[in-house]
Amino acid sequence: MSNDYPDPDDGALVQADRLWQGNGWTARVIKNEDDDGWAVAMIKDGEPEPALVGPWTMGRDKKNPKPLDVNAFNTLVKTASEVIRRHEQQLHAQLHKQVTVSMADGPVRVCLDITPDEDDPYATLSACDQYGAALARVRVAPTFKLSATSASAWIESGYKKP
């Protein structure tokens, strides 16, 4: 390994100018290939790719990067964790949708849960009454579009597979 990066394989956490480890994360200051600046990559332990890559501040000499320190590292961990959390929330929202439809017997909550399997993606359409009791459950195409209209049509069909 180059002199810029201490050897992280000895088991000890590294906390150096361009490589900082802790709290399940590694921050690595890298040369920005697009210009003369620097970037920092935040990698969560066990993950192959950085969760966040962003610009890094130049040092006083305007050639080398500003050294990492505990405060900068903690800020980077917080930012990278937030990026992951937002990504997980977005993925959850794409894969799990629900609508509530008013029916004569009371409100019915219809859920669409998509399983993004590489070989056989599918979705499950389910309905529950206002007390949470299951009314129906069917397998549908992962491209099924859940809306108040499609949910009402499914309920009115007697929960037949759309």
**What's the pLDDT at 118?**
87
Whose tokens are 């799990």? That residue is 96
Name residue 52's amino acid. L
**Cα 17 to the center of its chain, rounded Å:** 29
Q: Could you list the pLDDT tens digit for every one of the 162 residues in the chain?
A: 444 555 555 567 889 999 999 999 999 999 987 777 899 999 999 999 999 999 999 888 888 999 999 999 999 999 999 999 999 999 999 999 999 999 998 999 999 999 988 899 999 999 999 999 999 999 999 999 999 999 999 999 999 998
Spatial separation of the C-alpha atoms in residues 148 and 103, rounded to whole Å: 11
pTM of this prediction exceeds 0.85: no
**What's the pLDDT at 2?**
43
Spatial separation of the C-alpha atoms in residues 136 and 39, rounded to whole Å: 52
Spatial separation of the C-alpha atoms in residues 27 and 161, rounded to whole Å: 50
Let me know: does 16 contact 24? Beta carbons within 8 Å. Answer: no
And the tokens for 137?
């459950």
